[in-house]
Amino acid sequence: MKRFALLLSALCMIFFLSCMDATETETTDSGSSATVKSTTLPGVDGTLKSASSSTTTYEYTYTECVYIESRGDEEPATIAGNILIPKAVTEGETFPAIIFANSWALEEHEYLAQAIHFAKKGYIVLSYSSRGWGVSGGQVALGSPEDWADFSAVVDWLIANSPVDESNIGVCGISLGGGTALNAAAHDERVKTAVGISAWTDLETHMWSEETPKLVWGSLLVITGTILARLDPDIYSIYYATLSNSNISWLKEWCGIRSPLTFVENINERDCPIYIANGMEDYLFTPDTVLNFFNALTVSHKRADLSLGTHFTPEATGILGLPNYVFNNVDMWFDYWLKGIDTGIISDQERSAVVTMQLKNSLNRVEFDTASLKKSDTEYSWPPNNVEEQTFYCAERTLFTNGKLKTSMNTKTSTDSMYSGLLSGSTAGAVIFPILEQLGVGVTTSMLLLNRLESVAWESSAFGTDKKIRGASEAKLRLSLSYKKGQIIIYLYDVDKWGTATYITHGFHTFWDATPGEVMDVTVPITTTAYDIPAGHHLAMVIDTSDPLYSKPSLRPFNIKYYYGKTADTQVMLTVPFEN
């Protein structure tokens, strides 16, 4: 991972040097206070210009080593960065500014290609490494008040040391930097607009949703952070807390103070325009958390783009300055808000709300805007008006056939059972499946090859028309465990007439203290997706007890029994959101 980080930084530097047409300048440390400005109008005064009216290509100066002294919240630190400043064409010319915050495992040179692009368009671009990363001082704070104070120190320095238009400062970042950008919008009123890419919004949900430890992503973050940064010891303790189901109250408090969702009302009160873009198969910062944050925003302008791929991969080509959907939108977003250019990304200057989703099996993109999103008073939220939930009722399997997903309630009492294990034939594919799906390659298995001892499957009848899944499904189960600890993983599949099953999405839940043999009603959310099931195919739900993505609470074997009732409150059900 260290080699990857160094390679990416080296590629960015090579690209930068090949484009270099600037002279290096000296910079000094200082700070200044700032006056809060209006944040609701595009550009200088809200007057929009046509794209053709802004064609100047600027030369710029580049300063490689910028060191900014931050008092922090409790611990001071020196923050390292670099800055590109356009050369003024007219006397006294000021420029809008974009501040980039680094991703986890990378540092401030990550954004050089994008920084050059924006500098040539007339933006001051300051990229910095959050404390604990690169050559910045301190320990990794992961969104704590220390990071808020550091960002404000960066803005102070920018105002004191560059010809910046103080009323037009934006912030952007990927991954760690994405959450940093959203927190900056919540805690520094000088931020006019923020862009969070593959961003964290709700750390408790990211780390502990459905009481389930994120084994692959958690381990990857801790290992890379240990090698490439100076981690606050609390980060190790937090990861251990998720793996061991210990100190959960402290975990929730620790996560809450760092989560942009906690402070979303600060963003709303300032009416700060927000753009967020994440991977549809980002199983670290899931699309559901993106949509939850989108719904919590009551600002006049908000946009969420969900693209195929896992964490960081949808925007990866844009980091190197290559064509990229997300960074193309970032470009139009900043041009609109910071320069007042009518780029077309905002359809209505008074109010806009957009959610786009890239379809898994076609790579096409569907868009939902104010004409289709649900409206309450003046607020727009997900899901759209034309998405309706359909309920499927689960019926028991037989000796040779899988269970049924029916459109009518089950009318008899029965049970099914399965054993825990590792080889059921189903998997969410860790980080591999999402990358294949981003490339348009569907991931398949066979319903005929599922291990019936270690899983239970239910299948619907074939659909007469295309069925368009848009959003998060939900399973309501009645079950018991033979041991107090256990785990269930729920997979949805698109199945053709030959039994070939294409993976759609999954959900999960972990049990830490169940009463053996006691029947439990358990509701399990299934990760948001956008998937079209073709006419003639049918839907399948499969449940097993482990997936490489998640840490198991125990290695002790156990079995699970499912209970089917004949009354409305004892049904086993799957609810799926379909677009009409």
DSSP single-letter state for residue 400: S
Q: What is the pLDDT of residue 40?
A: 65
Give the DSSP H/E element, type plus range, for residue 150. Answer: helix 145-161
Distances (CA, A) of 497 to 398, 401, 424, 541: 20, 15, 21, 16
Contact 434, 310 (CB under 8 A): yes
* Single-letter code of the amino acid located at 66: V
Contact 100, 125 (CB under 8 A): yes
Q: b/e string for 257-275 if b means 16 or more Cβ within 10 A?
A: ebbbbbbbebbbebebbbb
Phi, psi of 338, rounded to the nearest 5 degrees? -100, -20
Q: How far apart are CA 215 and CA 328, in angstroms?
A: 33
Q: How far apart are CA 560 and CA 525, in angstroms?
A: 19
Neighbours of 190 (CB within 10 A): 21
pTM here is: 0.92
Q: What is the pLDDT of residue 378?
A: 85
Q: What is the pLDDT of residue 211?
A: 97
Neighbours of 249 (CB within 10 A): 8
Does 383 sit behind a cis peptide bond, omega within 30 degrees of 0 on the bond before it?
A: yes
Q: 456-459 and 403-406: which strand pairing?
A: parallel
Q: 274-279 and 193-197: which strand pairing?
A: parallel
Q: What is the pLDDT of residue 425?
A: 87
Give the DSSP H/E element, type plus range, for residue 112. Answer: helix 112-120
Q: What is the pLDDT of residue 32?
A: 36
Give the DSSP H/E element, type plus range, for residue 367. Answer: strand 365-368
Mention every residue, 6+ apart, whose C-beta is less than 8 A from residue 112: 12, 13, 15, 16, 82, 127
Contact 68, 143 (CB under 8 A): no
Contact 264, 186 (CB under 8 A): yes
Q: How far apart are CA 195 and CA 177, in angstroms?
A: 10
Longest dimension (CA), the chain: 84
Contact 122, 53 (CB under 8 A): no
Mean pLDDT by 10 residues, the chain (580 residues): 42 41 38 39 89 88 97 96 96 97 97 98 98 98 96 98 98 98 98 98 96 95 97 97 97 97 98 97 96 98 97 95 97 97 94 96 93 93 97 95 96 96 85 86 92 96 98 98 98 97 96 98 98 98 96 96 97 97
Phi, psi of 575, rounded to the nearest 5 degrees? -110, 130
Q: b/e string for 479-492 if b means 16 or more Cβ within 10 A?
A: bbbbbbbbbbbbbb
Contact 60, 85 (CB under 8 A): yes
Q: Quote the radius of gyration of the chain (alpha carbons, Å).
A: 25
Q: What is the pLDDT of residue 320?
A: 94
Tokens of 408: 């009518």
Q: What is the pLDDT of residue 173?
A: 98
Residue 464 burial by CB count (10 A; 0-12/13-18/19+): exposed, middle or buried?
exposed
Q: 467-481 and 520-533: which strand pairing?
A: antiparallel
Neighbours of 136 (CB within 10 A): 25
Among candidates 390, 409, 431, 436, which has minimal Cα distance to 574?
390
Q: What is the pLDDT of residue 435?
A: 87
